[in-house]
Amino acid sequence: MDHTLNEGPVIPGPPFPVTNVTGFRDPYVFQSPQLDRTANSTPGIWYTVISGGIHVEGPSQFLFRQYDADYRDWEFLRQWWHEAANSSWGDGTWAGRWGFNFEVGNVFTLNDEGYSNSTDAEFFTTLGAEWSEVPIIPQVSQFREMLWASGNVSSSSNGSVHFEPTMAGKLDFGVFAYAAAGKLLPATSQASKHSGTTVDRFIIYLWLTNDNFGTSAFPTLQQGWSSTLTTVRELSRGTMANVKNDYLVAGPASWRVASQDKSASTVDLVTLNQTIAREVRAAFVSNATRTITEPGRTISTSASGYGNASANSLNFAQSPSSKFFMLTTTLHFPTAARNATDLKAGLRILSSEYESTSIYYQFANESLIIDRSNSSAAAATTPGILSNNEAGRLRLFNIASGSANGSSSIESLALTIVVDNSVVEVYANDRFVLSTWVWSWYDQSTEISFLHEGSTAVRFDDVVVYEGLVDAWPSRP
């Protein structure tokens, strides 16, 4: 059956006077009562944000407003957000670079519970940023980063609307995690009703490419397919309460100060929270074929065994028998850890005598690292299997104890790690995600152990492993 329309696209290209664009694509259609008020729009009207940029000038999001009831005509509200070419948020530590061109923009409003149109909700946008190092090669993007930003929206007398970021960060620190796609999931949806969720949510997932965005031959020919989607996440505005108002709070960063208690020398910070969608997490737990609990412990220098997976004090008594599991644990650090440049603490997974993947936090550069140098025994003989480390920045703040002496402790590191054969996703403290490929080769590479290096002790809570995950596509051949 022929469903070809008799007319072209409703927004066929960039409107005058926008010319010489780096891109003009990925329309995202949404409604926003907050934007209705700011732009003096008819309540309930629809908007479209289109991602792109202008040569020399820099990346942009172009905003349009529905003009007629049939959605055929759209009013251009100008570039509602624009950044200088190849600039960055602050020094680029927390949100990479804005680059030359924006892609796959989503726009939505969040409060502490999830998606919201209430007056206390804040505007957020997720975006892909394309950029390159000099010398610039036309039509080639060396780097792509999946970012988010939150900020204020205002209007001008000429009818244009402007978005001004107040904080920004990376939606996923994985080098090949990109092209996030988000959607409003109302409380009235079948999924929410089934799970008993009574709030509206904004859910999102990313494309995890494993062929360098189509520029590498490996592994499509060998596998017959390429890339995958990450675990579905739900987003909200998160609050970090009772944070000591010290040098660690300074921005611009992926957080901002929401309130301050001068008498206690503390602040409350807000950021973007992202967690595994509650239905998915519940399914991982309830459908587990086996649940393993490894008792927590304090590991000091005497038990240090980084690089030695056979250390008895570090090995788990039981490990999964497969490479499909979710594990959770929390690490606690003493105050001295802040300046312990030699400290590395975390877990080693997918381990055998032939290969292993190490996941650890180090204060030296405030980073969570997935060490892939020994992840795949096949890497030595198979060009295309990457073995470089993947890393992301995560600051652990000083949290006030509430005592009269003004003491504080380092924020604990709460980890959730999802392993789906060759894909590893690391969630931390509800505000950090790092997704990557590890290509573990041997069937017996399923052991897990604690990882510790350095002169400072670290306390681990119980590690709970839910083995089995969920067969999301039971009818797939």
Q: Return d(Cα 217, Cα 41) in angstroms, integer.
A: 49
- Looking at residue 92, which CATH number applies to its domain? 2.115.10.20
- What per-residue confidence (pLDDT) applies to 306? 43
* Mean pLDDT (whole number) for 229-254: 97
Helix (H, G, I), strand (E, B) or coil at 158: coil
In this structure, the answer to whether residues 94 and 172 fall within a common structural domain is yes
Q: For the chain, what is the domain count? A: 2
Q: Which residues contact 201 (CB under 8 A, 6 or more apart)?
A: 114, 115, 184, 185, 187, 192, 234, 235, 236, 277
Q: For residue 310, what pLDDT band results from cuts at 50, 70 and 90?
A: very low
- What per-residue confidence (pLDDT) applies to 135? 67
Tell me: pLDDT of 343 over 70: yes
In this structure, the answer to whether residues 312 and 202 fall within a common structural domain is no
Which of 172, 205, 237 is the endpoint of a domain?
237
- What per-residue confidence (pLDDT) applies to 472? 76
For the beta carbon of residue 143, count every other beta carbon within 10 angstroms.
13
In this structure, the answer to whether residues 226 and 316 fall within a common structural domain is no
Q: For residue 312, what pLDDT band results from cuts at 50, 70 and 90?
A: low
Mean pLDDT comparison of 309-313, 404-408, 450-454, 471-475, highest-scoring range: 450-454
In this structure, the answer to whether residues 211 and 323 fall within a common structural domain is no
Query: Which domain, by its residues, includes 381?
Result: 283-467
For the beta carbon of residue 291, count every other beta carbon within 10 angstroms.
12
Which of 202, 218, 237 is the endpoint of a domain?
237
What global pTM score does this model have?
0.94
- What per-residue confidence (pLDDT) applies to 308? 38
Tell me: pLDDT of 242 over 60: yes
Tell me: pLDDT of 443 over 90: yes
Is residue 8 assigned to a domain?
no
- Looking at residue 367, which CATH number applies to its domain? 2.60.120.560
Q: Return d(Cα 424, Cα 213) in angstroms, integer.
A: 18
In this structure, the answer to whether residues 157 and 288 fall within a common structural domain is no
- What per-residue confidence (pLDDT) applies to 307? 41
Mean pLDDT comparison of 7-16, 57-66, 218-227, highest-scoring range: 57-66
Q: What pLDDT, in 10s, does the model give residues 355-413?
A: 999 999 999 999 999 999 999 999 989 888 899 999 999 999 999 997 777 799 999 99
In this structure, the answer to whether residues 26 and 108 fall within a common structural domain is yes
Q: What pLDDT, in 10s, does the model give residues 129-138?
A: 998 777 666 6
- What per-residue confidence (pLDDT) applies to 309? 35
Which of 168, 203, 237 is the endpoint of a domain?
237
- What per-residue confidence (pLDDT) applies to 305? 46
- What per-residue confidence (pLDDT) applies to 304? 47
